[in-house]
Structure 1
């Protein structure tokens, strides 16, 4: 039975205009057939997080599950409408812009924190020297790590502004936004190879603890698949995101096109 409807509107902001990934640059993105630089998928997912947090509050930040699949781009400055309908405890989420469906997903609140063992995830460092991506960069079965990252003080507040987050829970209760964890998942790729333009296409994130601003966050990721589809090279990751080397924050699954067909054919 459908029991609730939630809506949210945000003015999208491209936080990555100056990033190494030139898929967020207007000129380069247009060469790949887009209208301009793409708003990062991790930020679109951060917009989506707003809805289950509005429904379940801190409990969602401590043990919520969210999935997202990015269908079409979201562009800087566009109005983005998010809708969620609840059925049997699951929120079905849609993200629309320009009258087009741009992302789909779901969110739910498990009754308890799912079991998550750090022993199942190998801790490795990011590569000392990044090299241009090749067939060995993301081999299936390979373990990858990231450099430590933290969002504290003004940086944490700035992140909330960047993803247009309006829920006061983060500042009021001293909590980190789950979108920060998704940014670290992107760093699994970027910290271990020099990439050309690339695209995040989907994620699943099971939160197991609420983070705090200032946590030093790393990911322990295993490459679970690497394949070609329609000329694109895809990589899939299974990872544990950890705070301060000791506390699991989220079990994440991440999918990206690390070499679009135009790059793979070059």
Structure 2
């Protein structure tokens, strides 16, 4: 038996207009065949998290599982409809905008999670000096770290406003939104190379603990894939997002096109 959750509607917002990734700039994105600047995939995934959190509350933030795949772009200012159907304890999630399917995903609340040891993810610093991306930037089995970041006070409030999050649980319980973990996963790429325009393709994230507002976040990532497909260069990461240097928050698999076809051929 399936049941449908109440649709979550949000007006998308491009939080990355000023970022180094010019895929979030109108003129550059159009050069790659898009109608305009892309709303970051990590923020679209944050929209998707609203429904499982609405259903399972803090339990999802502590040990929920979510997967997302981005099919078509979401553009700034568009109304996005996030829907979810529940079947056998799992949610099938869809993101639609302008009448098109933009992202798909699943979410669940596992009764148990595979044990992840922080010892299996050695602490690694980001490179001391970033250089333009090349063949060695994301070599297979290479370990990558990130520059620590934290969202507290006004920054935490601004993040919730930017992703249009209306659930009061984050403020009332002093919790960090798990969408922040996805931003840290993007930092694995950005903190270790100077990239041209690039695209987040999809992610799988097993939450391990709820984050507190103001936690210092880092990622310890291993490159598990680096390959060409249809002219694009892809990178795949397996990573642990960690709070304050010692508390595992999420086990993540992250896939991105780090050199889109036009750029790779240039």
**TM-score, with length taken from structure 1:** 0.99
The separation in 2 between residues aligned to 1:220 and 1:175, in whole angstroms, is: 22
What does the per-residue CA deviation read over 1:203-257, in whole Å, with 9 as the maximum and x for residues that have no partner? 0000000001110000000000100000000000000000000100000000000
Q: Is residue 259 from structure 1 mapped to residue 250 from structure 2 by the alignment?
A: no
The separation in 2 between residues aligned to 1:169 and 1:132, in whole angstroms, is: 41
Aligned positions of 1:30-45 closer than 5 A? 30-45=30-45
Partner of 1:210: 210
CA RMSD of aligned residues (A): 0.7
Task: Report runs of 4+ in structure 1 exceeding 3 Å deviation.
Answer: none
Aligned positions of 1:44-193 closer than 5 A? 44-193=44-193
What does the per-residue CA deviation read over 1:53-105, in whole Å, with 9 as the maximum and x for residues that have no partner? 00000000000000000000000000000100000011000000000000000
Number of residue pairs aligned between Structure 1 and Structure 2: 266
| TM superposition shift of 1:111 | 1.3
| TM superposition shift of 1:113 | 4.5
CA contact (8 A) 1:93 1:105 kept: yes
CA contact (8 A) 1:41 1:201 kept: yes
| TM superposition shift of 1:115 | 1.5
CA contact (8 A) 1:114 1:208 kept: no
CA contact (8 A) 1:125 1:144 kept: yes
The separation in 2 between residues aligned to 1:157 and 1:113, in whole angstroms, is: 31
The separation in 1 between residues aligned to 2:161 and 2:115, in whole angstroms, is: 33
**TM-score, with length taken from structure 2:** 0.99
- Where does the alignment leave 5 or more consecutive residues of structure 1 unmatched? none
The separation in 1 between residues aligned to 2:19 and 2:179, in whole angstroms, is: 17
Give the secondary structure class of the aligned counterpart of 1:146: coil
The separation in 1 between residues aligned to 2:179 and 2:216, in whole angstroms, is: 15
The separation in 1 between residues aligned to 2:254 and 2:241, in whole angstroms, is: 12
The separation in 2 between residues aligned to 1:184 and 1:262, in whole angstroms, is: 26
The separation in 1 between residues aligned to 2:128 and 2:165, in whole angstroms, is: 35
The separation in 1 between residues aligned to 2:25 and 2:171, in whole angstroms, is: 31
Partner of 1:20: 20
CA contact (8 A) 1:130 1:194 kept: yes
CA contact (8 A) 1:6 1:85 kept: no
Partner of 1:248: 248
The separation in 2 between residues aligned to 1:136 and 1:18, in whole angstroms, is: 27
Partner of 2:233: 233
| TM superposition shift of 1:4 | 3.9
Give the secondary structure class of the aligned counterpart of 1:187: helix
What does the per-residue CA deviation read over 1:91-134, in whole Å, with 9 as the maximum and x for residues that have no partner? 00000000000000000001134421001112110000000000
Partner of 1:8: 8
What does the per-residue CA deviation read over 1:150-185, in whole Å, with 9 as the maximum and x for residues that have no partner? 000010010000000000000011100000000000
